[in-house]
Amino acid sequence: MKSWLRQHRRSAGDAVARMGAQPAATLAAAAVMALAVLLPLLGSAIVQAARQLSGGIDRDATITLYLAVSATEEIARQVGAQLKSNPAAASVEFLPKAKALEDLKSRDAWRDLLDGLEANPLPDAFAVRLRSRDAGALASLRQEWGKLPGVERVSADSEWVETVSRVARFAERLVWGAALVLGLAVLAVVAQLTRMQVVMRRSEIELSQLIGASPTDVRRPFLWHGFLQGALAGLFAWLAAAAILLVMADEVRALTLSYAAEIAMDFRMLPGFIAVCAGTGALGLGGAALAVTREVRRFGGPG
């Protein structure tokens, strides 16, 4: 066991030394691979943000009725009574315009704008949760309730949530597909780098085989180099993704202030950097294994 650990420590040290001897080439290769890893990382964070948005909102079939700004309290009571008497309504919640204005003023982005208004521009509203999610019934109720006196606009709040959910599911599949394709690209980059190293060190490898080096001894330094190169690329990709999300966070939050659920996009939505480095390191290890085995066999080694 001690001998095995000593051999791996020596091979890892050799790989680190060779990477340190060519810092520009090492960093350039890691940057190229990091770009391939960066896209799936950002994609996964965006998908999580979409799921956060749709998951933070009630998915039940809900219809919101907005009264005219000029509607009186008596009209609001009449509309409320008709809604509550409808057997399709599971619950009816009155949303007074004063409360809606207070909620908007509690948000920094809206406070200065609304403080300058002399009157409340928001209407009273009713949020009606339905007993059924049937699309036909939903459309029928929207049309029926839109004709009630004092009702200016009717919207089905759950429709866009379902749309966001469908888009998130589709985007998730795209991210997985991109991760697979770009992962193969990382594998190919590491394999090409390893192949070049094997060719450059051909005489050294042949000499080591003549004095009794086993195929495992020959492969070990290259495998460590591939693993470390991939792990370095993963670290670069994770740091770049975290920095991009940090810059995007305030802008994304500002864009979603008008919705019931705000998106808090930050680096915590990314997979852990240890997991990312381990994953890209495994890709580098795989690419190196393929290349070194093939090249050693090509020039007559045991592989």
Alpha-carbon distance values, 132 to 54, 91, 193, 231 (Å): 20, 12, 60, 51
Among 80, 50, 283, 261, residue whose Cα is nearest residue 167 = 50
Would you put residue 149 in left (φ > 0), alpha (ψ -120 to 50) or beta? beta
Q: Please, are residues 267 and 244 in contact by the beta-carbon 8 Å criterion?
A: no
Alpha helix (H) residue ranges in 86-214: 97-105, 108-115, 135-145, 157-200, 202-210
The first and second tokens of residue 185, run together, are: 């690209």
By the 10 Å C-beta count (0-12 exposed, 13-18 middle, 19+ buried), 126 is classed as buried
In the block, which residue shows the tokens 């996964």? 44
DSSP 122: P
Whole-number Å distance between alpha carbons of 61 and 81:
20
Whole-number Å distance between alpha carbons of 285 and 235:
16
Whole-number Å distance between alpha carbons of 276 and 29:
17
pLDDT in tens, the chain (303 residues): 676 677 778 777 877 888 888 888 888 888 888 888 888 888 877 777 766 665 545 456 788 888 888 888 888 888 888 889 888 888 888 888 778 777 766 665 566 666 666 667 778 888 888 887 666 777 788 888 888 888 888 887 655 556 666 777 777 787 788 778 888 888 888 888 777 777 777 776 666 666 666 666 667 888 888 888 889 988 998 888 888 888 776 666 655 554 444 555 555 667 777 888 888 888 888 888 888 887 767 655 545
SS3 211: coil
Q: Please, are residues 276 and 73 in contact by the beta-carbon 8 Å criterion?
A: no
Every domain of the chain and the residues it spans: 7-56+162-298, 62-131
Backbone angles phi, psi at 118, to 5 degrees: -80, -30
The first and second tokens of residue 98, run together, are: 């004063």
Whole-number Å distance between alpha carbons of 257 and 84:
31
Would you list the DSSP string of 225-269?
HHHHHHHHHHHHHHHHHHHHHHHHHHHHHHHTTTSSS-----GGG
CATH of span 62-131: 3.30.70.3040
